[in-house]
């Protein structure tokens, strides 16, 4: 394996939460979660090369609207790079190029994917040999969803979402993903949740049981997201998206994470494409098909 690569590209998947149980806010301001993550086939590709200064360049894949992505040092990919160099006590910088296939600010952890991919790519570019344990710890510092992006597959998430453990998933699941032109702030959705007299987070058992035996009907009945009601309260128009997905033939619907992306669970790949067409006909833009589970962050190119 060459240690003198000029550029390294790492692919990171977006995620959905098949169960998102949220409890009352903790003293540190975060909410305890009992969640089931699934990595799905919408990807960001992150390419890094050594440079005199940190920089970020973003290109869309397909119809993804990248206008909300920061291009300065507040971008989470730069924060990831800085944290990795601090961890190793080295003074290096990189140019970071992101090809974006994950909807921006959509509740699919696109920023977290970029952070995770940057960690893995820079580790390889500079041959840092960071341990998995350290990578996961740095990831958790960057955001609650970042460790899952490293892991991929299907996982049970606890703590504030940063404690992740792979679970049995015997299925290949098909989703129709309906982004929304206007992103939702995760913090705002959690605050709306707080105003609704929260109860302790519901456990993920029913979803985990359905996944283990690939029972589509059981999964369709078990999908649950405690952030859905507060997000719909902030954005009532999303109810129309949900109704359109049902009319288009989705077996079940679900808000993705803190939204506003909506998901339709469908029977198979053919149904996914039919439902996607119907959603486009109904006037929704940027609708894509995704399948899961897929792998977490992985190297796709080095030169
Ligand atoms: O961890 P991350 O930076 O992704 O979180 C973004 C925001 O989402 C936090 O500032 C917090 O407002 C909210 N959050 C939360 N509880 C969690 C995860 C996120 O309140 N478990």
11 alpha carbon – ligand 1 mean position (Å): 24
- Check residues 2 and 265 and name the one with the higher pLDDT: 265
pLDDT digits (tens, 9 = 90+) for 31-53: 999 999 999 999 999 999 999 99
Q: Is 159 in the pocket of ligand 1 (CB under 6 A)?
A: no
Q: Which residue has the tokens 């077996």?
A: 251
Question: Would you say 162 and 35 are in contact if contact means Cβ atoms under 8 Å apart?
Answer: no
pLDDT above 90: percentage of residues in the chain: 94
Q: Which of 25, 30, 74 to mutate to test the pocket of ligand 1 (most atoms within 8 A of CB)?
A: 30
The pLDDT assigned to 63 comes to: 86
Q: What is the dihedral of CA 145, 242, 177, 149, to 10 degrees?
A: 10
User: What residues form DSSP beta bridges with 43?
Assistant: 13
CA angle 76, 78, 79 (to 5 degrees): 60
Alpha helices in 238-290 (DSSP H): 238-247, 269-281
C-alpha 147/C-alpha 20 separation (Å) is 16
pLDDT of 60 over the 70 cut:
yes
258 alpha carbon – ligand 1 mean position (Å): 10
User: Which candidate in 44, 145, 226, 244 is catalytic?
Assistant: 145
pLDDT of 66 over the 90 cut:
yes
pLDDT digits (tens, 9 = 90+) for 228-237: 999 999 999 9
Ligand 1 atom 12: residue of nearest CA: 187
Instruction: Show the tokens assigned to 285.
Output: 């833009």
Tell me what the pLDDT averaged over the chain comes to.
Answer: 96
Q: Is 17 in the pocket of ligand 1 (CB under 6 A)?
A: no
Confidence of residue 117 (pLDDT cuts 50, 70, 90): very high
Ligand 1 atom 21: residue of nearest CA: 160
For 62-102, the DSSP string reads TT---TTS--STTSHHHHHHHHHHHHHT---EEEEEEEE-S
110 alpha carbon – ligand 1 mean position (Å): 14
Query: Which atom from ligand 1 is nearest to the alpha carbon of 146?
Result: 4
Three-class SS of residue 7? coil
Instruction: Show the tokens assigned to 302.
Output: 């080095």
The pLDDT assigned to 268 comes to: 98
Q: Which of 80, 111, 190 to mutate to test the pocket of ligand 1 (most atoms within 8 A of CB)?
A: 190
pLDDT digits (tens, 9 = 90+) for 167-224: 999 999 999 999 998 889 999 999 999 999 899 999 999 999 999 999 999 999 999 9
Query: Which atom from ligand 1 is nearest to the alpha carbon of 161?
Result: 21
- Check residues 57 and 106 and name the one with the higher pLDDT: 57
Ligand 1 atom 14: residue of nearest CA: 30
30 alpha carbon – ligand 1 mean position (Å): 6
The pLDDT assigned to 5 comes to: 74
C-alpha 160/C-alpha 147 separation (Å) is 11
pLDDT above 70: percentage of residues in the chain: 99
pLDDT of 246 over the 80 cut:
yes
Q: Is 145 in the pocket of ligand 1 (CB under 6 A)?
A: yes
- In this prediction, residues 2-16 reach a mean pLDDT of 87
Least confident of 103-112, 145-154, 239-248: 103-112
- What is the CA 70 to chain-centroid distance, rounded? 17
Instruction: Show the tokens assigned to 169.
Output: 């998933």
The pLDDT assigned to 4 comes to: 64
pLDDT of 255 over the 60 cut:
yes
The pLDDT assigned to 38 comes to: 98
- In this prediction, residues 146-168 reach a mean pLDDT of 98
199 alpha carbon – ligand 1 mean position (Å): 18
C-alpha 140/C-alpha 9 separation (Å) is 22
Question: Would you say 102 and 114 are in contact if contact means Cβ atoms under 8 Å apart?
Answer: no
pLDDT of 155 over the 80 cut:
yes
């Amino acid at each position: 394996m060459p240690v003198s690569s000029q550029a390294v590209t790492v692919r990171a998947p977006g995620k959905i939460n098949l169960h998102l149980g949220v409890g009352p806010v903790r003293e540190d301001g975060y909410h305890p979660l009992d969640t089931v993550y699934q990595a799905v086939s919408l990807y960001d590709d992150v390419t890094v090369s050594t440079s005199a200064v940190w920089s970020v360049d973003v290109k869309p894949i397909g119809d993804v609207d990248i206008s909300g992505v920061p291009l300065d040092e507040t971008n989470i990919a730069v924060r990831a790079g800085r944290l990795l160099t601090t961890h190793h006590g080295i003074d290096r910088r990189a140019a970071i190029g992101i090809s974006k296939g994950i909807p921006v600010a959509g509740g699919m952890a696109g920023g977290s994917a970029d952070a995770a991919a940057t960690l893995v790519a820079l580790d390889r570019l500079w041959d840092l040999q960071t341990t998995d344990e350290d990578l996961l710890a740095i990831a958790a510092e960057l955001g609650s969803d970042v460790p899952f992006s490293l892991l991929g597959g299907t996982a049970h998430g606890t703590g504030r979402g940063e404690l992740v453990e792979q679970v049995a998933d015997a299925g290949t699941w098909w989703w129709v993903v309906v982004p929304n032109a206007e992103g939702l702030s995760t913090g705002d959705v959690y605050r709306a949740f707080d105003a609704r007299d929260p109860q302790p987070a519901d456990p993920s058992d029913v979803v985990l049981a359905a996944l283990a035996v690939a029972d589509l009907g059981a999964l369709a009945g078990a999908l649950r997201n405690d952030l859905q009601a507060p997000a719909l309260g902030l954005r009532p128009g999303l109810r129309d998206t949900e109704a359109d997905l049902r009319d288009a033939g989705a077996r079940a619907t679900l808000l993705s994470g803190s939204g506003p992306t909506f998901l339709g669970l469908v029977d198979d790949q053919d149904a996914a494409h039919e439902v996607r067409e119907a959603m486009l006909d109904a006037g929704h833009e940027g609708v894509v098909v995704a399948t899961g589970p897929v792998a977490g962050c992985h190297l796709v190119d080095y030169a």
